[in-house]
Amino acid sequence: MTSYSLNKSAAKNMTGKVNATKLNVRSKPSTSRKVLGSLKKNQIVTIITKSSS
């Protein structure tokens, strides 16, 4: 699983494209957390920090 989080101190930014029909953005990587917003398919986003687990 790869998770993405916002981190204002990141030096280089990457972009990504949403592949899901609708992608929920949450405060923590858990489906039990409140949905803060959502992204639509093909939307371009800036990736500030990337972490793998």
| Alpha helix (H) residue ranges in 1-53 | none
Q: How confident is the model at residue 4 (pLDDT cuts 50, 70, 90)?
A: low
The pLDDT value recorded for residue 39 is: 94
pLDDT at 53: 57
- Kindly report whether the global pTM for this prediction surpasses the value 0.75: no
52 φ/ψ angles, rounded to the nearest 5 degrees? -110, 145
Instruction: List, for residues 7-49, the tens digit of each pLDDT value.
Output: 555 446 688 899 999 999 998 889 999 999 999 999 998 887 7
Strand runs labelled E in the chain? 2-5, 14-17, 22-26, 35-40, 44-47, 49-52
| pLDDT value of residue 14 | 82
Task: Tell me how far apart the alpha carbons of residues 34 and 11 are, in angstroms, rounded to a whole number.
Answer: 29
Tokens for 42? 């093909």
